Amino acid sequence: MSDNNEQPKPSLPQNNTAASEQTVTAKSLNLLQIAGWFLGALLLISGAGAYYLWSFVNDTKASVEQKITNNKIMAANLTRTQSAVESKLNNKIIALSTLQSDLSKSVAALLAKSDHMRKDWLVSEAEYLVKLAMNRLILEDDIKTAITALNNADARLLEAGDPSLLLLRQEISNKLTELKALPVIDTSGMSIQISSVMQQIKKLPLVTPDPESFKQIQQSENNENHEAPIDWKEVTSRVISDVTNLIRIRKHDQIVQPLLSPEQRFFLVQNLKLQLEQARTALLHQQQKIYRERLTQTIVWINEYFDISKSTTKATLVILNKLNNKTLTQQMPDLSSALKMFNSFQAGIQLQKKLIKKAKPKAAKQIVIKKPKPTVKKVEPIIQKTPKTKEIQKSKITAPIKEKTTDENSLDNNTKKVPLIIPTKPGLAL
């Protein structure tokens, strides 16, 4: 039993080697199969990738080619549109250039017209200022206002810039020189001086004893006595002076006037004021004779009834004598010569305007002949019928020839009406 059991033991290694070989071969086969499958999968994947890449490249190429063609089409369209736009722009540029030239011509004409109108306005304004100066000299002898007006008139003529106005400016300059040489009469100042003399009349002392002036002197002495301190020496001297002044001796070269009553003094002052008021009214109205008569009468009355040895009376007489020596009227320059020169200049301007108006209608007729717009519209329907007549001649159909003759007759009729359009339309020559 033991032997039997021990006999098969040597056969175990052979079986094991065979089995191991089989397992090895099986594993190698499995590995080969796996490698084959892997390679096949790789080939499939690479083929699919290559196909996808090829198809992607083809699609990309096709899309790029399509885009190129589209771009070419767009470029062609753009070139066409660009050429069309350029042609339109060129036409518009030409039209705008012609319009600009027309506008520049019209603007130049307007500027020339405005300059001419501005010059006319300046000359008219200068003429008005000369008339104003003349009125001020004639009506009020206002030299200052006349000088200002003439200076402004000369400035307007200078601004006009017309050489033909030089003689007129020379005339105005001569009148200005004459006006500046005249002495200026201060009417307002003289009137104020007369008013101040009128207020001073009632304060003048009379030649005869005046109760009111005596009261004023007595009041002033009393005020001095009250204000000054009491001195017995001065009191005695004043008593002595009062006693000596009780008797006064005066020398009169003229007849002694009687003592005026308060009523007479009042009426004397009022009459003097009335004389001065009349003198002031004559001053304002430039009445030399009345002015001097009233002032002379006032001076005579003051010398007769008032004390001329007093300072107030002397100052009043000095003012009245100065006023009496002044002249109110002067020989003013005549500005009518300047106005005549203005009138002649305006007449020349009006003559130029009339000549320009007469020359304008000729230019208007020439423009109408060059652009006969209504006649072109009448001829257009006839031009559209001319291709039909040519086709009829080619097809040698005799019936529509009458239409041709009628078209020709209509053309003849239209050409008789508008002879200037026929040479410009070559399609009308049949």
pLDDT for residue 15: 56
- What is the residue type of 152? N
- The tally of CA atoms less than 13 A away on the side-chain side of residue 86 is 6
pLDDT for residue 376: 41
Q: Other CB atoms closer than 10 Å to residue 296's CB: what's the count? A: 15
Reference 296, options 270, 267, 276, 274; nearest CA is 276
- What residues contact residue 137 under an 8 Å CB cut-off, 6+ apart? 143, 146, 332, 333, 335
Q: Rounded to whole angstroms, what are the CA distances from 358 to 52, 350, 353, 366?
A: 94, 13, 9, 15
Where along the chain do its domains lie? 188-222+256-329, 372-430
At CA 257, angle to CA 255 and CA 260, rounded to 5?
A: 175
For residues 224, 230, 235, 241, the Cα torsion angle rounded to the nearest 10 degrees is -20
HEC secondary structure over 18-49: HHHHHHHHHHHHHHHHHHHHHHHHHHHHHHHH
pLDDT for residue 24: 67
CA distance 243 to 193: 43
Report pLDDT digits (tens) over 380-427: 444 444 444 444 444 443 444 444 444 444 444 444 443 433 344 344
pLDDT for residue 280: 92
Extract the residue ranges of the chain whose pLDDT is less than 70. 1-21, 24, 111-116, 208-235, 241-259, 356-357, 359-430
For residues 203, 209, 210, 215, the Cα torsion angle rounded to the nearest 10 degrees is 100
- What is the residue type of 312? T
CA distance 187 to 194: 11
pLDDT for residue 310: 87
* Residue whose pair of structure tokens reads 């196909």 in the numeric block: 51
Q: Say if residues 275 and 197 touch (Cβ distance below 8 Å).
A: no
CA distance 150 to 173: 8
Q: Say if residues 295 and 279 touch (Cβ distance below 8 Å).
A: yes
Phi, psi of 206 (to 5 degrees): -80, 160
